[in-house]
Amino acid sequence: MAHGVAFRTGRSVVAVAAAGDGCLLTLDDGAQLDADLLLVATGVRAELGYLAGSGIDTDRGILVDARMQTSAPAIWAAGDVAEAPVFPGPGTALAGILPEAVAQGRTAGMAMAGDAALKPYRGSVPRNTYCFFGQSAISVGSGITGEPPAGVALATQRDPAAGSYCRIALKDDRLVGIAAVNLPLDAGILCELILRQVDLAPVRQRFIQQPCETARMLMSRLWR
């Protein structure tokens, strides 16, 4: 509220009507809001119209396997348009982020070239980060919102004085996901801990207390 911003979490817009030079929004709880400008940001959507009648399987994107191969012979897809496996699975998703597009493109290129060193795409890991009004937030992985999945244990750290927050999701002492506000995290290293399913049991408490430093220490030993 210090910057004149109010959040209505858990709410959705059910109707929009013109009102003078702006608009009137109705929320799903009946509340109405006047607005000068309406900005809609609901994620990415792949343009698939050009594939009509092609026989290539699609859902929200072009469906591909762990080699980025589509359902059609000798056709691959990668990046924002590709609906690829997720880690740890099962299922597929549109990743929509640069690191996954790079990994998918590398896999597709090696598959097309018949490279013997090809390793199947490990699956996408959700990642997001922002810095707004001097506040920063980052999330890597899953299991950190809502009720935790079966077998997932949550560890939460808060420091009201510093305005920081961290939530860590672990399953069998392996990192599933992590989210933090106003704490430094290295998304690339944390993603590798998730993908490699590194056993954190020997450093569990240290990781919960100092996730960034502990993750860097672990990966300095493991990165090859």
Encode pLDDT of 60-117 as tens digits: 999 999 999 999 999 999 999 999 999 987 899 999 899 999 999 999 999 999 999 9
Query: Residue 57 corresponds to which amino acid?
Result: D
H or E element at residue 167: strand 164-171
Q: What is the CATH number of domain 49-113?
A: 3.50.50.60
CA dist list (Å): 36 to 10, 17, 159, 181: 22, 12, 36, 30
Give the residue range(s) of CATH 3.30.390.30 domains in the chain: 127-222
Indicate whether 224 pLDDT > 70: no
- Angle at which helices 187-196 and 211-222 pack, to 10 degrees? 60
Query: Residue 96 corresponds to which amino acid?
Result: G
Global pTM exceeds 0.85 = no
3-state secondary structure of 162: coil
Give the residue range(s) of CATH 3.50.50.60 domains in the chain: 49-113
Mean per-residue pLDDT, 186-204: 94
Indicate whether 151 pLDDT > 80: yes
Q: With bands split at pLDDT 50, 70 and 90, how would you rate the model's confidence at 2?
A: confident
Topology of domain 127-222 in CATH is: Enolase-like; domain 1 (3.30.390)
3-state secondary structure of 142: coil
